[in-house]
Structure 1
Amino acid sequence: MLSIRIVRPRRFLLASAALTSFVAADMPAALAQQVRDTLPPVEVSPAEARKQTRPAGREAQRARRASSRRSAGTAAAPKPAVPGPSVHTQATTPLNSNAVATSASRLGLTVRETPATVEVISAETMREQGYRTVSEVAQGAVGVTSGDNPGEPAAFSMRGFTNSQINTLYNGIKIGPQNMTSRITDTANLEAVEFLKGPASLMSGEGAAGGAINFVTKAPHTGPIRNEADFSWDSLNSFRAHYGSGGSTNVQGLDYRFDVSRSSLNGFADDTNTKTLDVSGQLNYRISDSLKIWGAIEYREDRSKAYWGAPLVPVAFSGSHATSGIVSGNYVSNYNGTNLGAVTIDDRTFNTNYNVLDNRNVAQEVWLRGGFELKLAPDLTLKSQAYGYGAERTWFNNEVEAFNSGTNLVDRERFYVAHSQRLVGNITDLIWDANIAGLDNRLVTTLSSSYLDFVRPGAANFPGDSVSLVNPNRGFYGLLTTQQQTARIDNEALSFEDRLKLTRSFALVGGLRVEHIGLDRNSTDKNGLEKAGFPYSKDWAPVTGRIGYTWEAVPGLTFYSQYATGADVAANNIFLLLPTQPLDLTTARTYETGVKHLFWDNRAEWSFSAYDILRKNVYAAAGGMLLNIAGRQESKGVELAASVRPIEPLRLWGSIAYVDARYVDYNFVGGSFSGNTPPNVPRIVANAGASWRFFTPWPVELGITGRHVGDRYNTDANVVTMKAYTVADVYAFVDIPKTVFNAVEQARLTFRVRNITDKRYAIWGDPFYPDQILLGAPRTYELSAAFKW
């Protein structure tokens, strides 16, 4: 049974590789060991740089006509465009709803044409708002929160769901559970970040109960070569640098894109930082009007000295050093069992690092991707991409920081784990544009397959000690003994997505996905002997889908509704389950309705959505690397976003999201968490901003952004509250005329103050480590410069 499961997907992948002429039949292990991240599922259409050059000839005329129709909000566009890397470069609207999010639909629909809540944050927005990492991007999205807890970097919360209940995609490709595979990622090499809300297994497969977040790498465009360079430095002595170049080469039909970025982001806690390196490149080659091929490679690494949070401390112990407004509640230590009573964060620990001196948190990743787009007939297009990914990750830290009220010391415990991951796969689309009884119809049939090999050496012993709360002796890791776990997962899926325009303004959009997931696990002890119950195998065959409509009642005003389903493997981390624990399939469904409105000559836009999500058979973190079966999880809420430019110098934008998320039938021996809120889920998240541009010879823009996040809990028990907080950033930039630097067409200098009020707040809590809380960064100052030529 085991050999059959492994061989079958490899045969499929071998055929895919022959089809794409890109991935070798048997990728060498040495190459697979370094494989890395990004790009959309399959496309190769040349990407225009945002507000840059235009394509030539009849294709350019068609693109401009289609773009102008979409910008005007009319229903005149006869067919959606075949999605490609250029999807994020169309004429923008205040909420960027002209963008085509490939993670939300394979039909080439814009955000306004998709019957779901979709948000696309472009590279230009990331630059203007100073988003340095994908976690900061998420904090600027509607109703999304994030935290970089080192055990699960780049963790997200959206619509009442967190971590692996949200699929993290790299150019539309899932590499594994978010809580095991995601890393702190710099935004410099990204063209956009897409947020698809609600169950979305139709698009990204198993795991998308709360939605999907897709990171899209910068891709080539057709036209003159454009270069860009960016530099920044802040008051924590952090720096970032990026260089990018792309355009058409001297070879007819060959376009390229290359980016390299380097950053060193210092933390506010002592001896903490994250260093990243990202190198990405892609070639697009238009062989003929009907055939395009492409290839991409990317290498990324990050190296951190990690901050694991500040310990919860009894108010009675902290005395005058106790803080208010960060946490509240009464707590019994999950680690040592002592009763802390009312807890606080001691102000003497704001900058304290309890990690060992020889700690490290390292990852190296490599991606290889390539494919083609072939027009078989005027209304029939075949697209395919093959990909290979490899990653090596290591955690070597003291991870537990638990105050002991019996000794008044901080109990610590070490943990080590490493990943060696290999992934190969293929995604093939057949796009058919047809006319059914006089009605425009587009059907996309997708066949995908992947094979994942995951080796996880981990600690077999857990050294520990106790240190003082203030000025702790950090020491070193000590003796390490390891054991090993492995997992092999194969996945094959067949999906269909269709859009039928019943009238010029009313369309039905739906799809169905049939998927097979096979899992083989093994676990050995420190002597290499298999543990009881191992190895074992499990299979699932979820069927998920979406059905909805869009109705453009008047030009620019679109109503929509949808019913969608999702499925995921119940456990947040498949390696934490004992073989005797049930590993079942979790199902999710959502009802959603809303409206999207673009008006006032494209100067104003707003959107509203209401949803009801139910997820059944849920596993939840119980602390101490344990999992509980939580029964059901319900989530209901509304989201509102708007942006307007009432006069040319002034821009206003804002959003508010409300969610009521709770567990149902969450009972266990000794108690019940039914009615409790999942960890890291605020009831209210609001963002707002304003900017004013002075049209002087050297144009200057001043801006302010604010963010409010409501109360949250750090565990399912809901006994410790991470208090609501409001923070604000201000910025000013000046655009320097071309005449100053001569060869540089655009130059911008920016000064930014983050967290201008120096607010101290809790940004995230790791439910596996409930004795400690991650704090948000204090006030920092930043200078940056950007050049384009």
Structure 2
Amino acid sequence: MSGSVSASRLRRSTPRSLRVALLGACCAAALASPSRAQSPESPVELDEITVSGKGGKPSSGPNLSVKTGAGSRLGLTPLETPASVDVVSGDVVRDRGQASIAEAVTQNAAGFSFIGTPGNGFGAYSSRGFTGVSSVTTLYDGVRLYPGNGTVTFPFDTWTVDRIEVLRGPASVLYGEGAIGGAINIIPKKPLYEERRNEARAVVGTDGQVGLAAGSAGPINEKFAYSFDVAASRGDGWMDRGDYKNLAFSGALNWRPTDELSVTLTHDGGHNQPSRYFGTPLKGSGNVEKDWIGENYNVRDGVIRFNDNITQLKAEWTPNETVTLRAVGYYVTANRLWRNAEGYKWNEGTERVDRSSFIAIKQEQEQIGARADATIRTELFGMANEAVVGFDVNRFDFRRLNNGGYRAPDLNPSLPPKGFDPGEYGSASSYGKDYKAITTQYSFFIDDRLKLTDQISLVAGLRYDHPEVDFRGYRLVNGALPRSKTVLDSLSWRVGAVYEPVKNLAVYAQYSEAADPVTSILSLPPGSSGYKLSKGRQVEAGVKQSLWDDRFEWTLSAFYIEKKDLLAPNPNKPGSPSEQIGKQSSRGVEASVGVELGHGWRVDANATILDARYDEFFGSGNVDYKGNTPNAVPETLANVWATWRFAEDWKAQAGLQYVGKTYTSASNDHKRPAYALVNAGLQWKPTAYATLDLRVKNLFDKTYAYTGGDSQWYFGAPRTAELALHLKF
């Protein structure tokens, strides 16, 4: 399925590439300074940070010595945590040119693949055999971002990111139901007291790409500090009518009235209008017509808009060495608008593309909540013990407005595959209320770490969640307005042990239980009110080691996960609604390594080998899918990044991302082929405060599809290039 994109698209991008090169040369000449200092203390060496001891700032690699909240609320390092944890540095992500959260996660963390579409807000992933926003949870600065109708959008830009913390495997004990595959926690940049940060970035690239970003942080006085970052970008996109634009921002003000008390007010958000692209139809079973790729079968006036905001007020008080109290209140809003033709299927009889799913929807979502916890450090029978006890309360108000599938009467639902008029959706101003769902939830949690000896620790966690969903429909169903109330309790827990026979070598094992909703809790319809949460359990064991002052780190883990109570047709009740009788499992091995080889070389790599299957599952027509691989689950994944500082002020780097073949449905009749992408970059520091990067993504112009079903695939971008100027002052 590999091959080049059409020559016409390449011709369109060539003049832009030439302009990019000329602009880069001018910028470099203007920035170069022959009198630049060349001392070891020059700030030029601060661009790549290495970890130095516990609690250090993350850099490349597994970052085993960096304290994180991904694996527990105890602030343990990955080396101290009986789970698979990745800490991805925001500095490294930006240095590698990974502008989106999806790129940062899938190209750096082990075992994640991207399956994002406009319908899920480009926020869906596959991890350890489980897929979608109901099984891989996204958080922002520790706040769970709940999907309404399966859509989580924010955050999307990496400029505002300090680091990304990733937990692979069940995370329900930390974040509640819906995290059996893993959790991704994006931590924004923070206010600074000890130093100042002022930076700016300008990016130009092929397909009309233009981006600007700026940020600043530092002390206001002895008691106040701030941070503020903003990034905007736009472009024409690589497909027809693929224009996009977005804006991301993050701000924080910290107040420290005493050494023991800290109060922080933050506001973060994003406005995102991605390319209005819903994929390309296939010509038969997995048959890709390459000259169709890049065509946009959506309507001319299609709309995709996401507006998200999150405001938090945090307080942390440590009155003495044994107690720390934390509290946070947060308010989240998410407003989304779609107006598109989303479904495309090749009609062999007419030799045309049939369009369907003419959908115009508005979603309005509000979340208000609070979390409080206490960390208590004591001794238990002479052994050091640390526990976190707390609660979380939330109220969600989710509203969906629908125009009832209206489209202009003259809008053609059938198009030739090329040379067509896409038409216009028409007026969709008469949105009617579809339904409203109010969800109230409270949770209690406890994490505990007991040090049996200097070498052996026990880590355990327990969480109880109690969501209540009040669904109120505004459209008649069977002659009545539907309304339902549903309670979905869940109890998740984990226990694990870490054995450190020698310093910085840890062997661990853990057992955990978790829960997944069968659909988004916030938009649970009356027909699903009788469903319960799907239950899951995991057994995991592994080893981690850090050597040479953290210049060489490696991890190896093996796991088994089982999930039951999946929705599936009952073979003994033909034609009846699906029941929670399905079961699936996965088993696999994950490994990662980061090593500084000397002579300017560094290599970071990870790999996953997975065996995912349905253990009990039937499809339509009572077809037994037992033993089949779940759809959208690649069973082999790998990433490699190599960096070479081949001369003073010069650095070259390249990354390889491999995603194995993926089945497009539970029947396993069709599959998307495996693909390998190569990204490369060349960096020059003409002055102590400036960095110039030339990057090429998809260097070998691979044609690949990253998600989609049996008849319609979403393709990734062809080869693109960009030039980025980064200033620190």
Shorter-chain TM range is 0.7 to 0.9
Instruction: Say whether 1:299 aligns with 2:269.
Output: yes
CA contact (8 A) 1:93 1:605 kept: no
Q: Give the corresponding residue for 2:373.
A: 429
Q: Normalising by structure 2, what TM-score?
A: 0.87
Rounded to whole Å, the distance in 1 between the matches of 2:453 and 2:218 is 39
Rounded to whole Å, the distance in 2 between the matches of 1:576 and 1:346 is 39
Select 2:440's aligned residue among 484, 490, 507.
Answer: 490
Q: Give the corresponding residue for 1:34.
A: none
Deviates most, 654-663 or 180-189: 180-189
Instruction: Say whether 1:729 aligns with 2:671.
Output: no
Select 1:541's aligned residue among 489, 495, 509.
Answer: 489
- Counting matched residue pairs gives 667
Q: Give the corresponding residue for 2:10.
A: none
Instruction: Say whether 1:98 aligns with 2:65.
Output: yes
Structure 1 residues 52 and 424, CA gap change in structure 2 (3 angstroms): farther
Q: Give the corresponding residue for 2:3.
A: none
Q: Deviations over 1:188-224 (max 9, x none)?
A: 1111111111111111111111111111111112123
Structure 1 residues 732 and 283, CA gap change in structure 2 (3 angstroms): same
Provide the secondary structure at the position in 2 that maps to 1:288: coil
Q: Deviations over 1:515-536 (max 9, x none)?
A: 21111112222xx789647200
Rounded to whole Å, the distance in 2 between the matches of 1:571 and 1:477 is 29
Counterpart mapping for 1:190-205 below 5 A: 190-205=161-176
Select 2:325's aligned residue among 361, 382, 402.
Answer: 382
AA aligned to 1:760 is T
Rounded to whole Å, the distance in 2 between the matches of 1:516 and 1:362 is 32
Q: Give the corresponding residue for 1:253.
A: 223
CA contact (8 A) 1:148 1:184 kept: no
Structure 1 residues 166 and 116, CA gap change in structure 2 (3 angstroms): same
Structure 1 residues 601 and 175, CA gap change in structure 2 (3 angstroms): closer
Q: Deviations over 1:263-318 (max 9, x none)?
A: 1144211111331111221111111122111111123211134111110113xxxx
Select 1:681's aligned residue among 633, 657, 671.
Answer: 633
Structure 1 residues 476 and 602, CA gap change in structure 2 (3 angstroms): same
Instruction: Say whether 1:519 aligns with 2:469.
Output: yes
**TM-superposed deviation, 1:478:** 3.4
Select 1:126's aligned residue among 87, 93, 101.
Answer: 93
CA contact (8 A) 1:544 1:565 kept: yes
Structure 1 residues 91 and 177, CA gap change in structure 2 (3 angstroms): closer
Q: Normalising by structure 1, what TM-score?
A: 0.81
**TM-superposed deviation, 1:479:** 5.8
**TM-superposed deviation, 1:176:** 1.1
Structure 1 residues 629 and 471, CA gap change in structure 2 (3 angstroms): farther
Instruction: Say whether 1:180 aligns with 2:151.
Output: yes
AA aligned to 1:439 is M
Instruction: Say whether 1:503 aligns with 2:453.
Output: yes
Instruction: Say whether 1:591 aligns with 2:539.
Output: yes
AA aligned to 1:375 is T
Structure 1 residues 382 and 667, CA gap change in structure 2 (3 angstroms): same
Instruction: Say whether 1:655 aligns with 2:623.
Output: no
Instruction: Say whether 1:782 aligns with 2:725.
Output: no
Rounded to whole Å, the distance in 2 between the matches of 1:349 and 1:510 is 53
Q: Give the corresponding residue for 1:161.
A: 130
CA contact (8 A) 2:650 2:682 kept: yes
**TM-superposed deviation, 1:474:** 0.3
AA aligned to 2:379 is N
AA aligned to 1:160 is G
Q: Give the corresponding residue for 1:79.
A: none
RMSD between superposed Cα atoms in Å: 2.5
Counterpart mapping for 1:416-495 below 5 A: 416-461=360-405, 463=407, 465-478=413-426, 480=428, 482-495=432-445
Rounded to whole Å, the distance in 2 between the matches of 1:546 and 1:576 is 28
**TM-superposed deviation, 1:121:** 0.9
Provide the secondary structure at the position in 2 that maps to 1:646: strand
Rounded to whole Å, the distance in 2 between the matches of 1:282 and 1:751 is 32
Rounded to whole Å, the distance in 2 between the matches of 1:392 and 1:691 is 41
Q: Give the corresponding residue for 2:27.
A: none
Q: Give the corresponding residue for 1:24.
A: none
Structure 1 residues 284 and 619, CA gap change in structure 2 (3 angstroms): farther
Q: Give the corresponding residue for 1:412.
A: 355
Structure 2, unaligned runs of 5 or more:
1-42, 570-576
AA aligned to 1:642 is V
AA aligned to 2:566 is V
Provide the secondary structure at the position in 2 that maps to 1:131: coil
AA aligned to 1:772 is Q
Deviates most, 139-148 or 632-641: 139-148
Q: Give the corresponding residue for 1:741.
A: none
Rounded to whole Å, the distance in 2 between the matches of 1:177 and 1:691 is 37
CA contact (8 A) 1:249 1:256 kept: yes
Instruction: Say whether 1:138 aligns with 2:77.
Output: no
CA contact (8 A) 2:60 2:88 kept: no
Structure 1 residues 714 and 151, CA gap change in structure 2 (3 angstroms): same
Structure 1, unaligned runs of 5 or more:
1-48, 54-63, 71-86, 315-329, 331-342, 739-745
**TM-superposed deviation, 1:244:** 0.6
CA contact (8 A) 2:60 2:594 kept: no
Q: Deviations over 1:143-194 (max 9, x none)?
A: 1111331111122111111112111111111121383223571111111111
Deviates most, 238-247 or 145-154: 145-154
CA contact (8 A) 1:694 1:701 kept: yes
